[in-house]
């Protein structure tokens, strides 16, 4: 079929909306008519060349829509099912999948394997995170389309597909925040605000939000932070206020300095969780004597989530009013205004601009 997608032809380039060819879903695949797709910071990174993407590419990895065609052998989904796209293939057969770590599935790709379903004038298009959801339709394995039920609006639901799961899961799954614990979240964009909500839902006693931008600190308080601090002096304040550091600190920026801040913010025996995506060449320098007091630092991918289990839980929390997705959607724009949306995301004031179709 023909569909419309936003193509980025070269590093740093603007996106252009073009008609592309999308082959029918093959064995085990479904076609999804995309209804909404958030513009995530990783998309900006990909445009700038900070991720492994082959140009020309279709970005967009935070999508939701409706299944409109099934390939042979798909029994878990039906035409008309509303779904959130997940960027882990969750193949079910590799070693990580077998042990339950589907977020570490060996088939997970930033850059799709060659032989993908989308071409433009005969040239194959790469699809970021093997999704490429800045497009009216995508063809993906059925395991990457998670049912979302009839009620949640698509612009809110799509955020679960990346930013919300990543942040919320970093607090609940990776950091395993327990009730009454103290938590610091460094960086309060869409992921950080979701980490704050994860800590709140887990029952954290104190949640310190650290961000240099005042609008984000306000949003952090609204999301459930008990204290919002400027980046300048924030960590020192946290250590003092907790009498030696928080139980868990979650870094959602992607810079080595803020990762170090997360490590400095934790108490002896505390855990620092790194969510932010660093540049390939970055290094982190930690005085190893700090490990004498059993401080730990750990990465977190996709909120250590199993999307098939965790997306429905997040939808339930949304429906119960415990998870605020509405205020994460700063603005919606049609696909044709993708470049304007990207420019707004770059300014840093907006939590999420969501493209609607």
Q: How far is the CB of 70 from Zn ion (least distance, A)?
A: 22
User: Is residue 45 flagged as an active site residue?
Assistant: yes
Does 143 participate in binding Zn ion (rule CB under 5 A)? Answer: no
How distant, in Å, are the alpha carbons of 72, 234, 262, 349 from that of 45? 36, 26, 22, 17
85/204 with CB nearer Zn ion: 85
Give the one residue of 32, 84, 97, 342 binding Zn ion; rule: CB under 5 A.
97
Q: Is residue 59 within 8 Å of residue 128, measured between CB atoms?
A: yes
Q: Which stretch binds Zn ion (CB under 5 A): 137-145, 156-164, 244-252, 303-311?
A: 156-164
Q: Which stretch binds Zn ion (CB under 5 A): 29-37, 155-163, 203-211, 220-228?
A: 155-163
246/338 with CB nearer Zn ion: 338
User: Is residue 61 flagged as an active site residue?
Assistant: yes
Q: How far is the CB of 240 from Zn ion (least distance, A)?
A: 34
Q: Of the residues 45, 86, 158, 300, which is catalytic?
A: 45
Give the one residue of 39, 64, 105, 274 binding Zn ion; rule: CB under 5 A.
105
42/156 with CB nearer Zn ion: 42
Does 274 participate in binding Zn ion (rule CB under 5 A)? Answer: no
Q: How far is the CB of 102 from Zn ion (least distance, A)?
A: 6
How distant, in Å, are the alpha carbons of 106, 200, 294 from that of 265? 33, 19, 14
Give the one residue of 7, 160, 162, 188 binding Zn ion; rule: CB under 5 A.
162
What residues between 22 and 81 interact with Zn ion by CB under 5 A? 40, 42
Nearest to residue 206, comparing CAs of 249, 175, 164, 170?
A: 249
Q: Of the residues 37, 42, 86, 304, which is catalytic?
A: 42
Does 277 participate in binding Zn ion (rule CB under 5 A)? Answer: no
Q: How far is the CB of 161 from Zn ion (least distance, A)?
A: 8
Does 342 participate in binding Zn ion (rule CB under 5 A)? Answer: no
Per-residue binder mask for Zn ion (CB under 5 A), 74-93, x = binder: -----------------x--
Residue 149: phi and psi, rounded to 5, are 75, 180
Structure tokens at 240: 């003092």
- What is the set of active-site residues? 40, 42, 45, 61, 162
Residues that bind Zn ion (CB under 5 A): 40, 42, 91, 94, 97, 105, 162
């Amino acid at each position: 079929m023909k569909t419309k997608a936003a193509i980025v032809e070269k590093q740093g380039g603007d996106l252009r909306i073009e008609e592309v060819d999308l082959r029918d879903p093959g064995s085990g695949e479904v076609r999804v008519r995309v209804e909404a797709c958030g513009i995530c910071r990783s998309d900006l990174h990909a445009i700038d060349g900070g991720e492994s993407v082959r140009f020309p590419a279709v970005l967009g990895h935070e999508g939701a829509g409706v299944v409109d065609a099934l390939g042979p052998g798909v029994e878990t989904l039906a035409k008309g099912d509303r779904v959130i796209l997940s960027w882990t293939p969750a193949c079910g057969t590799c070693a990580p999948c077998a042990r339950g770590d589907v977020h570490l599935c060996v088939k997970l790709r930033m850059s799709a394997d060659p032989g993908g379903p989308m071409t433009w004038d005969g040239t194959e298009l790469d699809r970021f995170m093997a999704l490429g959801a800045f497009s009216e339709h995508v063809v993906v394995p059925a395991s990457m389309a998670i049912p979302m039920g009839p009620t949640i609006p698509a612009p809110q639901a799509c955020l679960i597909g990346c930013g919300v799961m990543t942040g919320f899961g970093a607090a609940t799954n990776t950091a395993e925040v327990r009730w009454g614990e103290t938590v610091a979240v460094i960086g309060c964009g869409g992921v950080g605000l979701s980490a704050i909500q994860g800590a709140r839902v887990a029952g954290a006693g104190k949640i310190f939000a650290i961000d240099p931008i005042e609008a984000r600190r306000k949003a952090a308080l609204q999301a459930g932070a008990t204290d919002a601090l400027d980046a300048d002096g924030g960590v020192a304040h946290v250590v003092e206020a907790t009498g030696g550091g928080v139980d868990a600190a979650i870094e959602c920026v992607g810079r080595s300095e803020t990762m170090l801040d997360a490590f400095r913010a934790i108490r002896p025996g505390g855990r620092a969780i790194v969510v932010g995506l660093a540049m390939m060449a970055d290094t982190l320098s930690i005085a190893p004597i700090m490990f004498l007091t059993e401080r730990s630092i750990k990465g977190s991918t996709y909120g250590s989530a199993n999307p098939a289990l965790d997306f429905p839980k997040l939808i339930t929390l949304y429906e119960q009013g415990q998870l605020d997705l509405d205020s994460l959607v700063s603005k919606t724009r049609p696909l044709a205004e993708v470049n304007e949306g990207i420019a707004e995301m770059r300014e840093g004031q907006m939590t999420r601009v969501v493209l609607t179709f």
